[in-house]
Structures are given as C-alpha cells and as structure tokens.
Amino acid sequence: NAGVTQTPKFQVLKTGQSMTLQCAQDMNHNSMYWYRQDPGMGLRLIYYSASEGTTDKGEVPNGYNVSRLNKREFSLRLESAAPSQTSVYFCASGEVTPTDTQYFGPGTRLTVL
Amino acid sequence: QKEVEQNSGPLSVPEGAIASLNCTYSDRGSQSFFWYRQYSGKSPELIMSIYSNGDKEDGRFTAQLNKASQYVSLLIRDSQPSDSATYLCAVKSLLYSNSGYALNFGKGTSLLVTP
C-alpha cells in the first residue's frame, strides 16, 4: 500500500518548456488535489477533482491544467513554465466531505530557470 | 477569503517542556480541523484531527477546539528534539464552487526543541 505517489521528485525546466507532474493513489479515494507550497505562503490549492470525471479550479489555477485520468491518477500540466511556478508541488487524496482528511504525496520540487 | 492564521515562529522550547501552538480561522461553518507536521524537505503528515469543542488527546499531543472563539490549538507535552518541525493548522472549508470541501492551510509555525 504505497498511499499517494508522485513523479518526478525533482525537475528543472527552462522558461517556456512544458511538463506534466504525475500523481497516483491506491487508497480508493474519490477526490484528489494539487497544492503548491512556497516559502512564506503556505500550501495553496491549485486544482482539485471531487470525483472521477470532474475537475475544478482552486485558489491559484492560472498557468496550470489538470487531467483526472481515472480514479487513481490525477496529473498537473504546465504548458509554458514561468519562473513564478518554481515551487514544491504536492498531490493529495481524500474525500470532499466536511470531515475527512487528506493524505499527501512526497512532493515534486520544480525549478524554472 | 477563508483565512487560517498561525504565528510563524520560530517557537523555541527546551526538551521536556510543553509546546503550545495556536491557530485561528475565519470560516464559522467549518466542521473539522487538523494538525499536520512537516519536516524540512518532506510532505505534511497528519498528527491530529478534532471535530468537537473541547480537548482531544493522543499520546503526547492534545488538540483543543473552541468554535465560538474560532480557535484551535495543539499542545505537545514532554517535547523532544525530534518534534522540531513546522506545524500546519488546516481547516476543512467549503470550496467556492460549492462542489465539496478541501483543506485550507495556515502558513505554519516552526517549532524548535532544544536539548
């Protein structure tokens, strides 16, 4: 039982390049989330998927797209990376109920030069 | 904007002392509250959840909730150097699209336990 897994762990991009961050969970959760974490800013929600087949914007969606490939997998795409997207990206899974918690993957450390 | 506020610290306590971490939140409709611990370079790890007013104890950790004051706290008894980390307060809030709930995080309090 791996929980939430993310690939890659580290990535360096040049401005304008594109890439996709992959996330998978084996906890049979309906909902999945992408957060970014920046120094002094805390964790901010980029996009989420309440259930398979749905996606919606969070607090900071600009510059990103997502795909909920199936119940297990939720990917985050940067179409044209910018230095402002240098951050640590965390995927999480859980349920969109008022009480359930969320479980986090190990993170992807992205640097955009 | 639904706010979750924490003192950024660092909070420094000697080994064996009680560390007290505080959090306030703005969304009166929130029903669930969580404390995560995050070591440097690692992902957030859930340590406590609390849903009702009062205290909830788990080992050396006690979470306290006061919904009337919109206040959550975490007490760590017999603090150890291994407790040195950033502690994130998280509140489950209704998303703006009304499609469900997600965690809204404070910026975290850095705790340093000195031997």
Mutation for testing the B interface, residue in A29, A60, A101 having most B CBs under 10 Å: A101
For residues A97 and A36, what is the distance between their CA atoms, to the nearest angstrom?
22
Residue A5, number of CB atoms within 10 A of its CB: 15
Name the region of B31 (left: φ>0; alpha: ψ -120 to 50; beta: rest): alpha
For residues B92 and B90, what is the distance between their CA atoms, to the nearest angstrom?
7
Taking CA A94 as the corner, what is the angle to CA A90 and CA A97, rounded to the nearest 5 degrees?
A: 130
Beta bridge partners of A109: A10, A88
* CA-based nearest distance A31→chain B, Å: 9
Q: What was the pLDDT predicted at A96?
A: 74
* CA-based nearest distance B18→chain A, Å: 25
Q: Where is pLDDT greater, at A18 or B8? A: A18
Catalogue the E-assigned strands of A1-113: 4-7, 10-13, 19-25, 31-38, 42-49, 56-57, 64-68, 74-78, 87-94, 102-104, 108-112
The tens place of each residue's pLDDT in chain B, 115 residues long, gives 678 999 888 999 999 999 999 999 998 888 899 999 999 999 999 999 999 999 999 999 999 999 999 999 999 999 999 999 999 999 998 876 667 788 899 999 999 999 9
